[in-house]
Chains A and B, each alone.
Chain A
Amino acid sequence: MDNNKIEQYGDELYEAFVARRAVPPLLSREPDITIEDAYRIQQRFVARRLEAGETVVGKKIGATSKPVQDFLGVYQPDFGILTSGMIYQEGDTIDLGGLIQPKAEAELAFVLKHDLKGPGITAMDVIRATDYVLPCFEIVDSRITNWQIKIQDTVADNASCGVYVLGKTKGDPRKLDLTLAGMVLEKNGELFSTGVGAAVQGSPANAVAWLANTLGELGIPFKAGEVILSGSQSSLVPVVDGDELVCTVGGLGSCRVKFSGRSAA
């Protein structure tokens, strides 16, 4: 795909983000778009956010579970760039008015104390480079109408990043069973679903190793201090005004989030 088209679609997604108005799937208009093209569109979309004053704060890993990979027709995860405008603190209420068609996912976040430079990174390197892990919520959102996404659409749309909230309990990955830690998700005081770390690529550390290796191939830096959202351990939760979610990671702790307002779609 030529650079003009890459820029055009990246700009279109950025403008959709700013206006909170979804656009038709890119793939419906450009059936030959490749995953590589989609990452270039993502770079343009993110560059526009950075030009507007945001900074890069981390990465998110998406499509890490088998059901989502089956749905998207891919056999590997994808990634997006986290920027400063996506951060909420635990205790804040998330304004749904800033989003189009949000859904929440309960995840484990990693914070690095050393840079990770792929290729050749394994899960063992990830544990060594991790400062701490946290329970977190990622609120995914799509700039594509009705979430009618294929892998190219979501990659171009910055892996459907919305906003995220980190919990406050820090865990040392050497003292936790990242693979078998349970994930309990409650919505408005009732059990919504349960999961376990293994749902993410067999173990969340595997997903982070995949990310380090993929970024290494693409020459994208992966630095100490960055936040990595490692992939959903729950089913997607639709959220509306007044909803409250709590996720609890076994052996670690909880993250709590409230929502107010109305999303665009």
Chain B
Amino acid sequence: MSSNLTLSREDIVRLCERVEGAQTRAYAIPKLTDEYPGMTIADGYVVQSELRRRFIARGHKLVGWKAGLTSKAKMQQMGVSVPSIGFLTDRMARPENSAISTADLVHPRVECEVAFVMKETLHGPGCTAADVLAATDYVLPAVEIIDSRFSGFKFDLASVIADNGSSARFVGGGRPRYVEDLDLRTLGVVMEKNGEIVGMGASAAVLGHPAEAVAMLVNILAELGESLPAGSFVMSGGITEAVPVKPGDSVVARFQELGSVSMRFIE
């Protein structure tokens, strides 16, 4: 991570308020680097941390984290070699098989992911995939509903990180499993929208193994001065391409060995 901070305290608060407004009132904003072309990845995380601090101060509960940009293709596209991360709160959680409103989202898209629930706290740096597997209580299938708040899908890494990695909603479900009972590298996944297959892949699409993405997430947290506490819910990154959804759409994510997660979208 580039550690150089270019933003002043005033800039940070200003950008955080801009992102917070776009997230809570569901409107698109220009990418932040239009106004702050020198903005770095470290700046992005400072804005994200300020956003997290504000949500928690308002009573939102931090429930976990997510890794983004975990496929080779997306990393090459963004010119990075590590994933990005974002935080997850209780306000973003939606139950399995529920109706999810899109009125409070800008341009929602869905991705299939393997999610981890931790039984032990993990600290970086130096966290490995083996450490992650040893600290995992169980894994489960999840669908992440991402929502970039930037207009025209024009964004860059610093802006996306400030926007909390496009985090918006998530649905966990299916069948909880112990990691030792599975080959987490070769789990097949099919995403169906309105009964048609719209995404396919296997879990190795996430950095070769989803636990690798969680290990990198823990190491990024260490750079932010944070750890991954026991009980955290962690989404390890999209196995399938992000697919746009609109009111009336029904989505089912089917996972080998982990069951399925379903939801539908309404106004």
Contacts and interface: CB of A to CB of B under 8 A. Distances in A.
A199 interface: yes
Contacts of B204: 182, 184, 191, 194
Given A182-B186, A199-B200, A251-B183, 5 more contacts: A191-B72, A194-B205, A196-B189, A202-B197, A251-B256
Interface string B196-207: 010011111100
Interface string A34-56: 00000000000000000000000
Contacts of B254: 179-180, 198
Nearest to A234: B202
B124 interface: no
B15 interface: no
Interface string B6-29: 000000000000000000000000
A144 interface: no
Given A195-B201, A198-B197, A251-B257, A183 B208 contact: no
Given A194-B201, A196-B200, A199-B200, A180 B186 contact: no
A181 B257 CA distance: 9
Interface residues of A, number: 19
Contacts, number: 74
B72 A251 contact: no
B185 interface: yes
B187 interface: yes
B150 interface: no
Q: Top 8 A-B pairs ranked by shortest CB distance? A: A182-B202, A182-B188, A250-B186, A196-B188, A194-B202, A180-B256, A184-B204, A182-B186
B190 interface: yes
B87 interface: no
12 contacts: A180-B189, A180-B256, A182-B188, A182-B203, A182-B204, A183-B202, A184-B204, A191-B72, A191-B204, A195-B188, A196-B189, A199-B200
Interface string B174-194: 000000000101111110000
Contacts of B188: 177, 180-183, 195-198, 250
Interface residues of B, number: 21
A249 interface: yes
A248 interface: yes
A196 B183 contact: no
B65 interface: no
A250 B256 contact: yes
B186 A177 contact: no
B186 A184 contact: yes
A179 B187 contact: no
Contact of A181 (B185, B197, B256): B256
A87 B202 CA distance: 28
B197 A184 contact: no
B116 interface: no
A253 to B, nearest CB: 10
B45 interface: no
Interface in A132-189: 177, 179-184
Contacts of A197: 188
Contacts of B72: 191
B170 interface: no
Given A191-B208, A251-B256, A184 B202 contact: yes
A233 B211 CA distance: 24
